[in-house]
Amino acid sequence: AAGVIQSPRHLIKEKRETATLKCYPIPRHDTVYWYQQGPGQDPQFLISFYEKMQSDKGSIPDRFSAQQFSDYHSELNMSSLELGDSALYFCASSPPRTGQYNEQFFGPGTRLTVL
């Protein structure tokens, strides 16, 4: 079965650089979520999109922005990178809303290292 695809899987950047993470949801899933998992931490919700519109916003820094495109893939843009941005970034997707209780299917994550 198709899963959530994230690219790149690993990314190394220097402070103050920019990074773009991509997420391709499971086919026919219309909602995309972004989470950040720091070393030894639980995942923290950043932002989500439903039908190309932002639906929920969590603890996403102002330096970060995201969008969902017409083909439902999503990109997380990160600017002025800081050492503390080093983390595993997960994308998740969920199927069309038949209720507010669909489970989220997670991708393998992008490991970002900021030097």
Partner 1 sequence: AQSVAQPEDQVNVAEGNPLTVKCTYSVSGNPYLFWYVQYPNRGLQFLLKYITGDNLVKGSYGFEAEFNKSQTSFHLKKPSALVSDSALYFCAVRWRNAGNMLTFGGGTRLMVKP
User: Which residues lie near partner 1 (CB under 8 A)?
Assistant: 4, 31, 33, 35, 41-45, 48, 50, 55-56, 58, 90, 92, 94, 99-101, 103-109
Residue 6 Cβ vs partner 1, minimum distance, rounded to whole Å:
8
Distance, in Å, from the CA atom of 37 to the CA atom of 60, rounded to the nearest integer, reads: 12
Residue 23 Cβ vs partner 1, minimum distance, rounded to whole Å:
11
Instruction: Between 17 and 56, name the residue whose CB sits nearer to partner 1.
Output: 56
Distance, in Å, from the CA atom of 91 to the CA atom of 93, rounded to the nearest integer, reads: 7
Distance, in Å, from the CA atom of 6 to the CA atom of 3, rounded to the nearest integer, reads: 10
Instruction: Tell me 100's DSSP state.
Output: T
Residue 88 Cβ vs partner 1, minimum distance, rounded to whole Å:
9
Instruction: Between 67 and 88, name the residue whose CB sits nearer to partner 1.
Output: 88
Instruction: Tell me 34's DSSP state.
Output: E
Instruction: Between 64 and 90, name the residue whose CB sits nearer to partner 1.
Output: 90
E-only strand ranges, 14-86: 19-24, 31-37, 44-50, 53-57, 64-68, 74-78
Instruction: Between 18 and 52, name the residue whose CB sits nearer to partner 1.
Output: 52
